[in-house]
């Protein structure tokens, strides 16, 4: 008998039940990031699983065994992952962003190759790889929506394609299964990981309140009115565990989002109401240029409210916010395929933003708004 729940968060079948019934040993590469941290935590929640998380930086207080590994070099990966030679399930969430597209192809493909090579001989049963909207051209001036997994690749170089080709070749050679998941705008919190739109919204709101100004959507009108979608990090973690233990997911690519779309102008208004803040019309400005000017205000808030003392430059990725808030076209992916395969979870994204900001307040990441 087991006390593992058999129903999911929304009352339906628990998508992680199969994993709980057949435990293994999970290794999450990139466990200090938003996606990796939530995936490792979800596996650690399941009874019987051995869970390790590999990252370049420290991972204090985590519920999994933390490994320090530099996956950018073959030697670093081999040494750092030496204790993970019994891995049955690899979750690959490691990522580096530098240089142009070709440099990103080289660097990110090397991360995956070094990790797979370091685990050569391990009893791998499944590997989960993450991609994203860039597979469809979300970083370019518009793309066909709703995006479907069967859409053709782009001519523009993309490390997603190179990683997937490498993974499929290794899976054929070594006999393990694989699943590729494509989230968009992942929302969650991981200490010192700024590439997260939740932190952009929460810190922008906190500083606006501290300065006594209304909360305004800080992007272009086109972006504010366009349809957008996000993927909750906890939902994605459950999809990851599901994919690693579900035959219907083997070899497949799935879009994984909350299942709804929203417009930023409406989301900002709803978040302001939830936080008890005044709200005003959108005001297009550069977060990258303006928000660093308010570092002193943030330091004062940290001192006054006893917040987690994360360095300001590691707290929020303002350029990431500028990119999303100036993408003036619909960003919509179809989730029909993953639902038909058996993963049917969905969330109200705006409600979830409000819930997660409240959680940041509880964790003293941002100050209380009331």
CB of 358 closer than 8 Å to CB of 158: no
Rounded distance between C-alpha atoms, residue 322 and residue 163, angstroms? 27
**Cα(201)–Cα(185) distance, integer angstroms:** 13
Q: Indicate the class that CATH gives domain 187-229+261-332+346-362.
A: alpha beta
187-229+261-332+346-362: same fold as 17-183+233-255?
yes
- Domain-wise residue ranges, the chain: 17-183+233-255, 187-229+261-332+346-362
Distance CA 351, CA 348 (A): 5
Q: What values do phi and psi take at 328, rounded to 5?
A: -85, 45
Residue 224: partners with Cβ closer than 8 Å, 6 or more residues away: 217, 263, 264, 265, 268, 282, 325
Along the 370 residues of the chain, how does pLDDT read in single tens digits?
334 444 566 655 678 888 777 899 999 999 999 999 999 999 999 999 999 999 998 898 999 999 999 999 999 999 999 999 999 999 999 999 888 899 999 999 999 999 999 999 999 999 999 999 999 999 888 899 999 999 999 999 999 999 999 999 999 999 999 999 999 999 998 766 767 899 999 999 999 999 999 999 999 999 999 999 999 999 999 999 999 999 999 999 999 999 999 999 999 999 999 999 999 999 999 999 999 999 999 999 999 999 999 899 989 999 999 999 999 999 999 999 999 999 999 999 999 999 999 999 999 999 999 8
Strands, DSSP E only, in 132-250?
177-182, 186-187, 227-228, 231-232
Mean pLDDT, the chain, whole residue set = 94
- Closest by CA to 243, choosing from 158, 182, 332, is 182
Helix (H), strand (E) at residue 170: helix 159-174
Burial of 150 (0-12, 13-18, 19+ CB in 10 A): exposed
CATH class of the region 17-183+233-255: alpha beta
pLDDT digits (tens, 9 = 90+) for 261-298: 999 999 999 999 999 999 999 999 999 999 999 999 99
How far, in Å, are 42, 64, 135, 141, 238 from residue 2 at the CA level? 17, 21, 40, 50, 19
334: exposed, middle or buried (Cβ count in 10 Å: 0-12, 13-18, 19+): middle
Closest residue by Cα to residue 21 from 36, 41, 6, 10? 6
pLDDT in the model for residue 8: 60
Strands (E) located in 244-323: 252-255, 262-263
**Among positive and negative, which fits the CA dihedral 42, 132, 186, 143?**
negative
Structure tokens given for 282 = 């959108």
pTM (global) more than 0.75: yes
Instruction: Determine the Cα–Cα distance for residues 213 and 281; give it in Å rounded to an integer.
Output: 12
Determine whether 252 is exposed, middle or buried from the number of CB atoms within 10 Å of its CB (0-12, 13-18, 19+).
middle
Residues 6+ apart with CB under 8 A from 232: 186, 187, 188, 258, 347, 349, 352
């Amino acid at each position: 008998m087991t006390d593992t729940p058999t129903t999911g968060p929304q009352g339906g079948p628990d998508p992680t039940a199969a994993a709980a019934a057949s435990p293994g040993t999970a290794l999450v590469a990139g466990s200090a990031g938003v996606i990796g941290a939530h995936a490792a935590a979800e596996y650690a929640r399941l009874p019987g699983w051995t869970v390790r998380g590999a990252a370049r930086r420290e991972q204090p207080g985590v519920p999994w065994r933390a490994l320090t590994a530099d996956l950018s070099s073959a030697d670093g990966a081999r040494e750092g992952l030496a204790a993970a030679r019994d891995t049955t399930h690899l979750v690959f969430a490691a990522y580096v962003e530098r240089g142009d597209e070709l440099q990103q192809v080289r660097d990110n493909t090397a991360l995956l190759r070094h990790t797979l090579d370091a685990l050569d001989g391990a009893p791998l049963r499944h590997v989960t790889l993450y991609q994203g909207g860039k597979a469809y051209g979300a970083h370019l001036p518009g793309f066909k929506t709703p995006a479907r997994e069967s859409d053709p690749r782009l001519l523009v170089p993309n490390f997603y394609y190179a990683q997937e080709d490498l993974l499929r070749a290794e899976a054929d050679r070594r006999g393990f299964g694989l699943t590729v998941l494509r989230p968009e705008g992942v929302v969650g919190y991981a200490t010192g990981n700024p590439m997260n739109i939740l932190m952009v919204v929460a810190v922008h709101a906190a500083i606006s309140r501290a300065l006594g100004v209304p909360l305004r959507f800080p992007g272009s009108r086109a972006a504010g009115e366009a349809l957008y979608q996000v993927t909750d990090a906890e939902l994605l973690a459950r999809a990851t565990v599901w994919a690693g233990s579900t035959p219907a997911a083997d070899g497949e690519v799935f879009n994984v989002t909350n299942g709804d779309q929203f417009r930023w102008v409406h989301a900002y208004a709803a978040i302001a109401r939830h936080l008890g803040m005044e709200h005003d019309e959108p005001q297009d400005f550069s977060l990258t240029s303006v928000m660093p000017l308010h570092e002193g205000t943030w330091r004062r808030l940290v001192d006054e409210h006893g917040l987690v003392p994360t360095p300001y430059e590691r707290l929020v990725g303002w350029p990431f916010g500028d990119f999303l808030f100036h993408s003036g076209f619909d960003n919509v992916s179809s989730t029909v395929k993953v639902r038909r395969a058996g993963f049917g979870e969905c969330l109200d994204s705006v409600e979830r933003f409000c819930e997660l900001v409240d959680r940041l307040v509880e964790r003293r990441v941002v100050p209380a708004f009331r």
